């Protein structure tokens, strides 16, 4: 699921930056994703599924400027899809119920905690000097080795290690999790 999120968000960001090919690919890839989303909820009514997918794609395209670049894309798109589905149910006057055993199928995954954590981490890292924040992002978040991070940042491997150490120490001190105790 994270691969899908990363791919769709990257396409969305490129589309927001004016890349028409990426925008078209986003809508195409999102179309397949939304077909599954609506088909699980509506059954095999292909006409309604296709109509909802098209409505949702139009809404995503029209509202793309409201997308928060720091946020996650799929929860944003799922929110639009849920509203379109609710509108569909209202138009059709559908009243459905489901046993509580299957209630989890009615809801999209809640990634708000992930989004809030990502936003907090971004804010904390942005408060550090650029060498420290880049070194932490490359090694701790992206998972690059010290050598790979050095090549990507233009720093020496030893400077990457020092920057990570100093940056993490500063972050621990800021969030109050034992920045002074870390050296004991």
Where do the structural domains in the chain lie, given as residue ranges?
2-109, 127-183
Identical fold, 2-109 and 127-183: no
Q: What is the mean pLDDT of residues 163-168?
A: 93
Q: How far apart are alpha carbons 42 and 40 in whole angstroms? A: 6
pLDDT for 179 equals 45
The domain 2-109 is placed in CATH, from the list 3.50.50.60, 2.60.120.640, 1.10.10.10, 1.10.1740.10, at 1.10.1740.10
At 141 the pLDDT is 87
pLDDT (mean) for 138-157:
91
pTM of model > 0.75: no
Give the Å distances, CA to CA, from 90 to 56, 94, 129, 132, 161.
16, 6, 52, 52, 58
Q: What pLDDT score was predicted for residue 45?
A: 66
Round to whole Å and give the CA distance between 124 and 102. Answer: 39
Query: Do 14 and 25 form a contact (C-beta atoms < 8 A)?
Result: no
Percent of residues, the chain, with pLDDT higher than 70? 84
- 78: which residues sit within 8 A by CB, 6+ positions away? 37, 108, 109
pLDDT in tens, 77-131: 999 999 998 888 888 776 666 666 666 665 666 666 777 778 888 888 999 999 9
- Integer Cα distance of 160 and 163 in angstroms: 5
pLDDT value for 41: 83
Contacts 24+ apart (CB under 8 A), 70-73: 70/118, 70/119, 70/122, 71/115, 71/118, 71/119, 72/5, 72/9, 72/111, 72/114, 72/115, 72/118, 73/5, 73/8, 73/9, 73/12
Dist CA 24 CA 21 (whole Å): 5
- According to CATH, the topology of domain 127-183 is Arc Repressor Mutant, subunit A (1.10.10)
> pLDDT digit string (tens) for 55-72?
999 999 999 999 999 989
Please determine, for residue 159, whether its predicted confidence score (pLDDT) is greater than 90.
Answer: yes
Q: Rounded to whole angstroms, what are the CA distances from 120 to 7, 37, 42, 60, 144?
A: 22, 29, 37, 26, 21
* Predicted local distance difference test score (pLDDT) of residue 184: 41
123 by DSSP, 3-state: which?
A: helix
């Amino acid at each position: 699921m994270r691969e899908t999120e990363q791919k769709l968000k990257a396409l969305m960001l490129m589309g927001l930056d004016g890349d028409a090919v990426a925008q078209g690919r986003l809508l195409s890839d999102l179309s397949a994703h939304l077909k599954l989303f609506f088909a699980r909820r509506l059954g095999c009514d292909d006409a309604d599924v296709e109509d909802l997918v098209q409505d949702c794609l139009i809404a995503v395209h029209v509202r793309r400027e409201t997308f928060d670049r720091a946020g996650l894309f799929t929860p944003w798109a799922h929110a639009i899809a849920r509203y379109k589905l609710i509108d569909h149910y209202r138009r059709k006057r559908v009243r459905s119920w489901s046993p509580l055993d299957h209630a989890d199928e009615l809801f999209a995954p809640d990634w708000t905690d992930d989004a809030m954590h990502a936003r907090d981490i971004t804010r904390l890292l942005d408060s550090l000097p650029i060498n420290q924040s880049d070194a932490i992002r490359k090694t701790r978040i992206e998972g690059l080795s010290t050598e790979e991070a050095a090549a990507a940042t233009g720093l020496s491997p030893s400077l990457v290690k020092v920057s990570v150490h100093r940056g993490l120490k500063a972050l621990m001190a800021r969030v109050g999790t034992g920045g002074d105790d870390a050296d004991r």
